[in-house]
Amino acid sequence: MLFFTQCFGAVLDLIHLRFQHYKAKRVFSAAGQLVCVVNPTHSLKYAPTRCAAAQTSVEQGILPPCHHHEAVHDPQLVPCTCPLFSCPWEGHLEVVVSHLRQTHRINILQGAEIVFLATDMHLPAPTDWIIMHSCLGHQFLLVLRKQEKYEGHPQFFATMMLIGTPTQADNFTYRLELNRNQRRLKWEATPRSVLECVDSVISDGDCLVLNTSLAQLFSDNGSLAIGIAITTSKVHNAEAEM
C-alpha cells in the first residue's frame, strides 16, 4: 500500500506540473517562448553570506582582523553567487555557471524570451525561486525572493543578475513582465553583476517589488508567471554602429 501510495503521489505531481506548464503557455502564447516551471526553495538557514557580512562590517566601520600568517586572498576569486545557501565555494567568474549547475542543480534555459513560472507562492518567507538564462552569448541569473522587509509584511523581489562584470552588465537591458486578467505590469532596468551580491540589490530595492496583494492579482492558483526578455542596450548598439 505504501508503494502504490507513493507512486500515485508522484503521478499527481507530474499531472500538476504539466497543467502549470500548459497554463503558462496559454498566458504567454508568443511563438518560440520557453516555459520553465520553478519550484521554491525554502531556506532553513539564511545565514548572512560573506559578501553581505563584509558589507555590514564596512558600513559599521568594523574592519576584519588582520593576521600576518594568513594566506593572501586572491582578488580574482568570487564567492558562490547562489542566494539559496551559505555556500563556502570560491572560484573564478568563468566557472560560476558550472558550479551553479553541478552543485546547486540550477536549471538553465536558452532563448531571447522565456517564461519563469514560480509555484507555491503561498509559502512563508524567506523563500527563493531561481533559474539561469542563457542569452546573447552570456548567462544571467534570475532570482525571485519572498522576504519580510518589514515584520509581518512579506514582499516579492525579482531581479536579473549578469554572471559577469559590472562593465559587461551595462551593455544589456532586461524586462520582466506580468500579464493576467487584462492587467499588465512591466519592469525594465540594467542587470546588476553577480559580483555586487543579490542581497544588496534586494535591500536597495533596485528590482521589481510586489506586495502580497499585487502578487495575488497576477498569480494563478498560487503560481506566478513572469515573462523575461533580454536585449542589448541602446548605448551598446550605438557604439557598435560607430
CATH number at residue 103: 2.60.210.10
Residue 55 falls inside a structural domain? no
Q: Which domain holds residue 193?
A: 78-234
Residue 56 falls inside a structural domain? no
Residue 95 falls inside a structural domain? yes
Residue 59 falls inside a structural domain? no
Q: How would residue 146 be classed by pLDDT, with cut points 50, 70 and 90?
A: very high
Give me the pLDDT at residue 99, please: 86
Average pLDDT of the segment spanning 140-144: 94
pLDDT tens digits, 21-52? 455 444 444 434 577 888 887 654 444 444 54
CB-CB contact of 10 with 89 (8 Å): no
Residue 127 falls inside a structural domain? yes
Question: Based on the structure, what is the number of domains in the chain?
Answer: 1
Give me the pLDDT at residue 43, please: 57
Q: How would residue 85 be classed by pLDDT, with cut points 50, 70 and 90?
A: low
CA distance 91 to 189: 28
Residue 11 falls inside a structural domain? no
Residue 7 falls inside a structural domain? no
pTM of the model: 0.72
Residue 180 falls inside a structural domain? yes
Beta bridge partners of 150: 153
Q: What is the mean pLDDT of the chain?
A: 76
Sign of CA dihedral 186, 211, 37, 51: positive
Q: Residue 234 contacts by C-beta under 8 Å, 6 or more apart in sequence? A: none
